[in-house]
A = this chain, B = another copy of it.
Amino acid sequence: MLVIGEKINTSRESIKKAVETKDSEFIRKVAREQKEGGAHYIDINCGTFIDNEPELMEWLVEEVQKEVDLPLCIDSPNPEAVRAGFEAHKNGKPMLNSISGEKERYDALAPLVKGYDCKVVLLTMDDTGIPTDAEKRFQVAKDVIADLKDGGVKEEDIYVDPLVQPISTDTTNGLSVLETIKKIHKEFDNVNTTCGLSNVSYGLPQRKLLNQTFMIMCMTEGLNGVILDPTDKKMMGLVTVSNSLLNKDPFCGQYLKAYRDGLLEI
């Protein structure tokens, strides 16, 4: 299970302020805490700064890499910001978050994905929007995967994100995502899946309970990547618990270690 830490995003007020004041200490602290929580990748998003996103992306990538030895997830639809992030990246293989089946976005970003040795998040949407049913989401992913593979991208570097939508607006929204994850893993031996979870609970009370439960459901269908807050002990504990129940933890070793470290909250 690949955990992508979501916290360095300028849509969050504290990060926005830190970027504006070039508060390197704060950014590095947020990166360090995510690594300590168990993140494998650190997402970097400064998309709210439209005028100088590439320059700020470069700065963030450099600062974060001074603090942690993890690879980073360059989170932008702007090819210049992505290129700046990739060029500044040193810790292993960067990830692009994200491409989709939208023609303009794809045409702009696919050359970068094919040109760099990177991982990539693929959103299951195209120019008609986010399909409501799993079959169409799967088709969008399938077409893009075929083109990426033609361009030399390996299946294991692709992470399909089925785009979680709120069950409060349509109660089939959870099932569509679960079904898409299942289809991807059934059809492709080595393509990965990932998603952000919190959208599922939008508009409902006790959102954490829905997000936690939905993550377990997605993992049951094969989800092997997730974008979340790795400093959320409860959520990270549930990743460990789920791995153990799904036979991804030999001798329950990670489970027992997490217990000893006080990381399994009831």
Contact = CB atoms under 8 A, between A and B. Distances in A.
Nearest to A245: B174
B266 A241 contact: no
Interface string A225-266: 000000000000110011011110111100110010000111
A171 interface: yes
A102 to B, nearest CB: 28
Interface residues of A, number: 39
B217 A237 contact: no
A48 interface: no
A209 interface: yes
Contacts of A216: 213, 216-217, 220
Contact of A245 (B208, B213, B219, B265): B213
A210 interface: yes
B200 A213 contact: no
Contacts of A19: none
A178 interface: yes
Interface string A138-177: 0000000000000000000000000000011001101100
Contact of A246 (B175, B241, B256): B175
A207 to B, nearest CB: 9
Nearest to A238: B213
A205 interface: yes
Contacts of A86: none
A183 to B, nearest CB: 15
16 contacts: A167-B244, A167-B245, A168-B252, A171-B250, A171-B251, A174-B246, A175-B246, A178-B220, A200-B245, A206-B259, A209-B265, A213-B242, A213-B245, A216-B217, A216-B220, A217-B245
Interface of A: 167-168, 171-172, 174-175, 178, 200, 204-206, 208-210, 213-214, 216-217, 219-221, 237-238, 241-242, 244-247, 249-252, 255-256, 259, 264-266
